[in-house]
């Protein structure tokens, strides 16, 4: 496949994945470490040869393969996949299981890197930028040590259950509003599933 075709696939896939996954250019930049100028230049076709490392950061963010993002039309592929069966024909996403006491040191790493460092579980749903947190302490009188929280990393949902790390207490907490409570809280992401230790 020619470089021009790869660039066109990359551009259209970034646009589609941002829209279909409920992301923004800003959330992509924040989580991947790329600048807004880099993303803008790719989307406007101002870059003729996108660096391998840049494509890798974008594909890691969306949880897709490096080759696919340059060679496959995701909008067309997902439309076909969803027409094959009622629930779509989706494979489960492999998700790294990060112990609570190691989580704060992992927030700067991509999920693509974390899957090589930690054991995996599976998440059945639209999985991109997802990790699992294995609790070592009780959380909000509901979750106990050994429970696992599946988290959409870096995403905040107003009014929803969002996992954060409190740097003052050195413990995890749940936020429902941004700015809730004291400062010094670092967002982990939106809790999308809970798995209880006794189940």
pLDDT at residue 126 is higher than 80? no
Domains of the chain (ranges; CATH) run 3-84 (1.10.260.40), 93-195 (2.10.109)
Read off the pLDDT of residues 19-48 as tens digits, 9 standing for 90 and up. 888 888 888 888 888 998 999 998 888 888
What pTM does this model have? 0.56
Cα distances (angstroms) measured from residue 12 to each of 24, 125, 159, 166, 186: 14, 23, 32, 38, 32
Which pairing describes strands 120-123 and 171-175: parallel, antiparallel, or unpaired?
unpaired
Confidence of residue 88 (pLDDT cuts 50, 70, 90): low
């Amino acid at each position: 496949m020619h470089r021009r075709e790869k660039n066109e696939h990359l551009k259209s896939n970034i646009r589609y994945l941002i829209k279909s996954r409920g992301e923004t250019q800003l959330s992509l930049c924040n989580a991947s470490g790329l600048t807004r100028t880099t993303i803008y230049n790719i989307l406007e076709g101002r870059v003729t040869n996108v660096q391998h490392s840049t494509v890798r950061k974008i594909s890691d963010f969306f949880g897709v393969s490096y080759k696919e993002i340059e060679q496959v039309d995701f909008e067309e592929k997902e439309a076909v996949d969803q027409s094959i069966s009622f629930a779509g024909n989706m494979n489960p996403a492999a998700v790294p299981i990060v112990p609570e006491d190691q989580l704060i040191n992992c927030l700067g790493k991509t999920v693509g890197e974390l899957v090589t460092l930690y054991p995996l579980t599976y998440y059945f749903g639209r999985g991109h930028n997802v990790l699992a947190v294995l609790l070592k302490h009780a959380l909000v009188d509901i979750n106990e040590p050994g429970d696992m929280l599946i988290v959409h990393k870096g995403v905040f949902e107003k009014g929803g259950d969002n996992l954060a790390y409190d740097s003052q207490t050195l413990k995890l907490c749940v936020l429902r509003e941004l700015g809730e409570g004291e400062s010094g809280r670092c967002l982990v992401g939106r809790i999308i599933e809970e798995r209880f230790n006794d189940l």
